Structure 1
Amino acid sequence: MERATIKELSEAVICELKRLGYASGTIKLYQKLYQKLLRYADEKQIHQHSQGMCHRWLRDSFGIDPTLVIREMSNEHKYRRSSYLPIRVCQCLTEWQLHGCLPLKKQGKLAALELPRQFKEAYDSYAAYCSEAGYSERGTYTRLNRIKRMLLFFDQHGATSIQSITAGRISVFFRSQIELDSRTVATMLSASRMFFRHLYRNGFTQEDLSEKLPLVKANRKYRLPRIWKQEDVLSVLSSIDRGSPVGKRDYAIMILVTRYGLRSADVKSLRLSDLRWSENVIEFEQSKTRKLLRLPLLRDVGWALIDYLQNGRPHSEHLEIFLTCTVPIRPFGQNSCALNAILAKRVRQAGVRISREVPKGMHSLRHTLASKMLANNVELPVISSALGHVSSEATSVYLHTDIDQLRECALDPEEVLSNETT
């Protein structure tokens, strides 16, 4: 079947942008860029769309490397915001040709890189296996990202096929990751072990390379959770302008995280049906553990949600509670950093100075809640239940953050010495 022409695809994309409710000014920008692309293609006597042709147009007309996100060592070639739209109009053509839909955001550095062709069949086979095994969407995404990073490394170092991957090449790859902490290395090894075991069992390799991987124990207690000061959390919450739809949404999101310690993925996937108003509870299946979590609907949380749902949430057929406030109206992507971006924005607006040692993502508020509960003498099993941990072992790390209680357990040196002399 012959590929669609650039003109046909660009017209289809413009129609879809109009259907999704994009602003007329934005649509005009797309139209201007497509006109430039069509003129370039006519000069080159090219009519059918291809990703390679788009890459040449971006380089020749704008000096843009579409796979480049940022090069910190060279400000001259730093990714510019103005580069985004030309790259996106090309992505829209490709996505519409392949899937009949539009990409919703710019790609990150890893996502923008194409998987080497010689590894694609094996990679797709493993991706299908993850789906059939029922792994969570978020878990599958991170697992496949680790595999893709490794395969790109093999391609750069001369591996021409899956069969040419050896224990030696794998060793070289993991030596290149040695500066990462033990938990990151352990998760990468775990993902790689499952990948190579799948390849062997399905005939992609003649040798089970999973047996060649070393065992590295993830040290959960290597780094203590860094937590926020309570007054900083309150300052950020109180600074949010709740008179606007965006403010109502952001406040409701942050109050959910600060009061319950919910994971970002669970906030993004929370549905209207999860709010059991008659029972005064929130009940949902956690994205990470697949366990049901049932929480009391606290008064301040309930009123924040009501205010957003009645006066801030855009009209939509989507079942998720929290939606974007710009077109196309949609739920937050499960793999996006949207909630972290919301928090960063609200911290800046509040003028709060957070210590450099404290992480600035939503997950740090989860750590803060756990430590606060511990300081208030809440027992570990209760904290585990509230945070949705599978066991209290995951929660025990917060014991190390309660300095006051640790002091109570400390021995008096003079008392120790006096006991030794008696």
Structure 2
Amino acid sequence: MDTIQDSAQKFLDEMNRVGYSIKSKNIASAALSRLIHYHLENKCTQLNSTLTDAYTNGLQDRLNGDAMGQYFAREHLWFIRKYLEYCKSGVINADRFTLPKLPFPESFVRVINSYTEDVSKNEQQRKSRAWAPKRYAYWLSNHGIASFSDAKVTDLRQFILEDSKNLKSKTIPNFRSELRRFHIWLYENNYTKSTFEEFFDFKVAIENKIHPAALPDDIAAVIRQINLNTAIGKRDYAAIMLGVVLGLRISDIKKLQLTDIDWRRGEIRIAQHKTGKPLALPLTTDVGEALKDYIINGRPKFDDPHVFLSHQAPIRPIKAGSSFGSAYTKYMKSAGINGKGGFYQLRRAVGKNLVVAGVPVTTVSQVLGHTDISNTKQYIALDTRNLKVCALDFDGIRPRRWSE
């Protein structure tokens, strides 16, 4: 009987065969990864109706929130339902998922439609240009403001402050840019008396979350849980070592091919999945030994260029990054490590260790394959030891009205 990971992968493969878009497949993959993780947390490796009902009921509860919060739950519930239907029938029905429209007055709809028609060259641009104005219109209508002309700069500021909490930090600059473009159009077409240019010219400090790095003791405890006498244990160990030592992303690990490993020169050369940029890293002894042991003694004898393969029929390359993430989480739990954590913290540990060792940020950026050095600077915040050295000494500084 298939494991839940295998049945989920078959469903994703079938989605690909029948022509679903990359976006739909990514959403389905994310939804099923969370469902798989929930099963594994409850020590179940096969699809279980009781666990599935409990998980989907939790998603259903999210539908009682505001309309923006419902998007995640609605699309995940839809794809989980399609997956369950596929498990029973072996086919995917032809209907497609569409998100519900945000509710706001028709007066907003007419203006946004005019805007998108005016500034867009095709249907894709019309959708992308409408994204920020629609969120703005929804917020205004929920705050008793019936038209864009009635909105004040204080309303715009409050909207951005509130809505930015629901966006990734990298998305916020683009979000502000789209709103700026929209307000210039509103002014030029006599919908507002101002472009609010003074507001958009003001640089807003965006809070970037500093995600923790895996602790050395935790990593060691996780590795001790891996059974290196099994083929899957050898595979998991090799994959985790690529994250622990080289800081590779899961997306690059699962796509790693045999030809990417230059054993003579002692290098791993890849084109990064996230950025498309080439990256060359040293094949350290520990990583090389882990890969060699898996390839020679654990990897299925199967004609495929990918290093990491599934170990249950049908044999195929690992497509879901959640396979490695779930494995790492499983070993964490076996080691008695509680709290938030995941495979990506291994990459953060590599970045932190390099910064703590005094490696220049530019070099760390190259090792991690960052295209923007600002992505690397966050690792400085993890270097608490040296940050303490930089702290301001308040000795001799007395607050106003200080009394001994």
TM-score w.r.t. structure 2 length? 0.57
In the alignment, which of 277, 286, 299 is matched to residue 291 of structure 1? 277
Residue 217 (structure 1) shift: 6.9
Cα deviations across residues 136-160 of structure 1 (Å, max 9, x unaligned)?
A: xxxxxxx99xx999999999xxxxx
Residue 340 (structure 1) shift: 2.2
Match of 2:171 in 1: 187
Q: Which letter maps to 1:91?
A: Y
Residues 1:96 and 1:378: Cα distance change in structure 2 (over 3 Å): same
Residue 299 (structure 1) shift: 0.6
Residue 332 (structure 1) shift: 3.2
Match of 1:71 in 2: 61
**Tell me, what secondary structure is at the counterpart of 1:283?**
strand
Residue 251 (structure 1) shift: 0.9
Residue 256 (structure 1) shift: 0.5
Equivalent pair of 1:115/1:152 in contact (CA under 8 Å): no
Q: Which letter maps to 1:368?
A: A
In the alignment, the residues of structure 1 paired with residue 206 and residue 237 of structure 2 have an alpha-carbon distance, to the nearest angstrom, of: 32
Cα deviations across residues 359-390 of structure 1 (Å, max 9, x unaligned)?
A: 41222221122111211222212211111112
In the alignment, which of 389, 396, 400 is matched to residue 377 of structure 2? 396
Q: Are residue 227 (structure 1) and residue 213 (structure 2) matched?
A: yes
In the alignment, the residues of structure 1 paired with residue 393 and residue 160 of structure 2 have an alpha-carbon distance, to the nearest angstrom, of: 46
Equivalent pair of 1:183/1:219 in contact (CA under 8 Å): no
In the alignment, which of 407, 410, 420 is matched to residue 388 of structure 2? 407
Cα deviations across residues 220-272 of structure 1 (Å, max 9, x unaligned)?
A: 65333322321111111122111112111111111101111112211122222
Residues 1:360 and 1:185: Cα distance change in structure 2 (over 3 Å): same
Residues 1:89 and 1:70: Cα distance change in structure 2 (over 3 Å): closer
Equivalent pair of 1:182/1:217 in contact (CA under 8 Å): no
Q: Which letter maps to 1:374?
A: V
Match of 1:281 in 2: 267
**What is the Cα-based RMSD across aligned positions, in Å?**
5.6
Q: Which letter maps to 1:364?
A: Q
In the alignment, which of 304, 321, 324 is matched to residue 307 of structure 2? 321
Equivalent pair of 1:228/1:365 in contact (CA under 8 Å): yes
Equivalent pair of 2:268/2:282 in contact (CA under 8 Å): yes
Q: Are residue 178 (structure 1) and residue 159 (structure 2) matched?
A: no
Residue 88 (structure 1) shift: 3.5
**Tell me, what secondary structure is at the counterpart of 1:295?**
strand
Residue 330 (structure 1) shift: 2.9
Q: Which letter maps to 2:352?
A: S
Alignment of 1:136-215 (within 5 A): 178=162, 181=165, 184=168, 187=171, 190=174
Match of 1:267 in 2: 253
Residue 218 (structure 1) shift: 8.1
Q: Are residue 369 (structure 1) and residue 368 (structure 2) matched?
A: no
Q: Are residue 342 (structure 1) and residue 327 (structure 2) matched?
A: yes
Equivalent pair of 2:254/2:318 in contact (CA under 8 Å): yes
Match of 2:69 in 1: none
Residues 1:249 and 1:398: Cα distance change in structure 2 (over 3 Å): same
In the alignment, the residues of structure 2 paired with residue 332 and residue 345 of structure 1 have an alpha-carbon distance, to the nearest angstrom, of: 18
**Tell me, what secondary structure is at the counterpart of 1:406?**
helix
Equivalent pair of 2:243/2:346 in contact (CA under 8 Å): yes
In the alignment, the residues of structure 2 paired with residue 309 and residue 251 of structure 1 have an alpha-carbon distance, to the nearest angstrom, of: 12
Residue 72 (structure 1) shift: 6.4
In the alignment, the residues of structure 2 paired with residue 150 and residue 364 of structure 1 have an alpha-carbon distance, to the nearest angstrom, of: 36
Q: Are residue 90 (structure 1) and residue 85 (structure 2) matched?
A: yes
Residue 326 (structure 1) shift: 3.1
Residue 300 (structure 1) shift: 0.7
In the alignment, the residues of structure 2 paired with residue 400 and residue 365 of structure 1 have an alpha-carbon distance, to the nearest angstrom, of: 16
Aligned residues: 311
Residues 1:238 and 1:180: Cα distance change in structure 2 (over 3 Å): farther
**Tell me, what secondary structure is at the counterpart of 1:282?**
strand
Residues 1:342 and 1:316: Cα distance change in structure 2 (over 3 Å): same
Equivalent pair of 1:183/1:218 in contact (CA under 8 Å): no
Equivalent pair of 1:182/1:219 in contact (CA under 8 Å): no
Unaligned runs of 5+ in 1: 1-15, 21-62, 79-83, 100-110, 117-121, 130-142, 156-165, 198-205, 418-422
Equivalent pair of 2:309/2:315 in contact (CA under 8 Å): yes
Q: Which letter maps to 1:291?
A: K
In the alignment, the residues of structure 1 paired with residue 328 and residue 149 of structure 2 have an alpha-carbon distance, to the nearest angstrom, of: 43
Equivalent pair of 1:286/1:293 in contact (CA under 8 Å): yes
Cα deviations across residues 66-111 of structure 1 (Å, max 9, x unaligned)?
A: 999553699xxx9xxxxx9985363376956769xxxxxxxxxxx9
Q: Which letter maps to 1:267?
A: I
Residue 283 (structure 1) shift: 0.3
Q: Which letter maps to 2:355?
A: L
Q: Which letter maps to 2:83?
A: R
Q: Are residue 237 (structure 1) and residue 218 (structure 2) matched?
A: no
In the alignment, the residues of structure 2 paired with residue 149 and residue 341 of structure 1 have an alpha-carbon distance, to the nearest angstrom, of: 35
